[in-house]
Structure 1
Amino acid sequence: MKGRLMSVTGLLGVVAGVLLPIGSCDIDDYDPHAVATEADFVESLGFELDIPMRALRLAFDRAVEGEGGNLTVSGGDDGGITGLLFPDDSRIRIDAGSRIDVDASGFWTPKSREFSITVEEHIIIEKSLPAFGESFPSEGGFVVADGENVIAVVFLPVAGVSGVSLSLNGSAPVFHTMDAFEAFAGSSFPIWKTEASLSFLVLDHLAEQIFFIADTVDIIESHSGGLAGGGGIVFLCDSLLSDTEQDPLDPESARELSWTDTDGSGLIDTGDRFQWTFVQCWEEDPDDLVSDLVDGIVMLSGYVIEREQEDSRRVITGFGFVAGPEESAGVLYDDFIWMKAERVSSGSFAFDTDRSFTISGGFDLTFSLSDIQE
């Protein structure tokens, strides 16, 4: 990972926002893989991610003080992200024709720049690391248009190295490794390269959230008894500090999934609300939910779940989170700090400040049976 080395204490001091308490429940080292009732998904599901044109649009603000930059994302009148999820393969396809609009400010000058992102060829992403982590596309491409330039981005591996080819206004494409491409998010590069890199950052985040919501529903359905019995489940995260450095007055690094029974039925079902609370959460295990450093709240409203019984198996045929009349979005971030982090050595971490953001606003996301195949 490209990034600056910072001390953990210094870093948390300059991150915008306040670290949030986990709540009053006792923290148990809950094993998410020790399922009591396994929830099965159908082989493939179509998904639709809609960014509402309401007050709380999805926004990314640079998370480190002194690092300017803000991205506001919308689906437009006919935009949004559609595609297919293959749960057993941990793979998604973002459909050609998917489109989102971005308003970027503070990256070059105080004046904002608007550009659109349109998927030209189906983008295939296989999750080989956690939901909050790195998931590089293996194929596909998108186009960025800002009214002056048209930038074509095509994902392709060269000699086993993940990368992209970039073309400006129809010029001959030039290959860049993924590390180099992601580094273009800094302001020292030509504007068109930064727009392309920031566009990938947004698409990358939305792809991660598709995996994240699917993993969350898997946890909800597999551990419904634990959620219904205690109202929440707490998972310990790895600590950024050594045991000797841990401040006993600070909350433990953890993430909590809590449940609100909206209709008082005592059962987890459609219409219920959930909430993830992350406290300085970072996990080294590739099989866990988080690989970056995250802190904040993700509110999940308007739960949609469709189940079918096949012999002794309970099969999930649809799910998602959709805002009701009094809600801003089905998936809503509350000052959610997302820091690109990687351990370099014992006690030392690299943080990519160009690609670390505080996220607010949200979107609706639904999955349903689809006749469309690859």
Structure 2
Amino acid sequence: MASYESEDRQGAGRRKLARYAVPVAVVGVAAATIGLVPALADSGDPDLPKITAQELIEKIAKSDTERLSGTIKIHTDLGLPSLGGVASGLTGGNGGSGDKGSASADPREKLTELATGTHTLRVAADGENRQKLSILDDASEYSVIHNGADVWAYDSGSDQAYHAKTEQTAGDDRAKKQSPDVPATPKQLTDEILKASADTTSFTVDGTAQVAGRDAYRLQIKPKQSGSTVGAITVSVDAKTGTPLKFTLTPAGGGAAVVDAGFTKVDFAKPSASTFDFKPSQGTKVTEADDLPRRDHPGRTGRAPSAADLDGLNVIGEGWTTVAELKLPGDAAGAAGLASGNAPSGMPAEAQGFLNSLGDKVSGKFGSGTVYSTRLVNVLITEDGKVYAGAVTKSALVKAADAG
């Protein structure tokens, strides 16, 4: 499935982030994102021709699947509470589905919900210019539709829509494409991991499986380096098309998968053209992307920070143990509060409790600060307002901060 890509400053920021973020791109700021699939039909391991890990990787790289439709189950377990309300508190948002007073149906706010819990997605793609992703809830549906020059997002719970043009006029210094870039299919997740693997990774073929009624090979990906919080990634690859059908990331500390994404149904036939049609009904509140505030001051515009906001980014190390170093946006008082393990004053109580529950005081050559931990990603905030983040252990994070 083709991903929505930005060609502006955000695109450059994402490329800058790739060196450290790819091993955890599956969680992103949000994150990345994908689901537990206990309902997948598993009728035993199919008997397939032998294949080497290199041949399987080449099969994925050569996969030219541009047309498909299906249902994906998503479960993400970072050890965090539900981010439905917390995310709004952290980013300054104004509510979510079902909230008529929320700012818009902007995908960059809604898709943060994929960072925790279990979700069902319906996806469809017909080449580079037509894609659709829908998040299905019990009583509502949220969809992002890319059809030619238009990107629409619609939240049925709040009856709000978001609209952006993918093509801007020549010379326009704003984004030429305004669309979400959260990895939301096994294919997108696998591509991100393979881009950054290089010599720091071990690849093996771990047998076969059947996913969504299709025969598949299992590619197992493991870091060679110590200090990473990633234990292993297993990708089930369609034996016929080379399309990744399931993606599972397990932590080095053991336990349930942190990210587990897979198709429960998949069809490689061309979707109906009507799948990508959208027209807001009378009474729907429509927000144009050009009317939303710029993200010059993350956290103050009601928007989550983006890669383009990370101008001071420095990368320490390489491979799975790379750590990002950057300056914390915001005032010094807020940085000092976070470094002391306390949420800034004025933050909603739910968000304050969320941050305080994660904090762990540490010190080293860099000074002192607080490490905020999940099952996969650790973030160190120092008293002088620097941030160190990566899919590494606390000790590896402190070591990187000392080196930085």
- Going by fraction, where is helix more abundant, 1 or 2? 2
- Going by fraction, where is strand more abundant, 1 or 2? 1
With structure 1 as the length reference, what TM-score do the two structures score?
Answer: 0.31
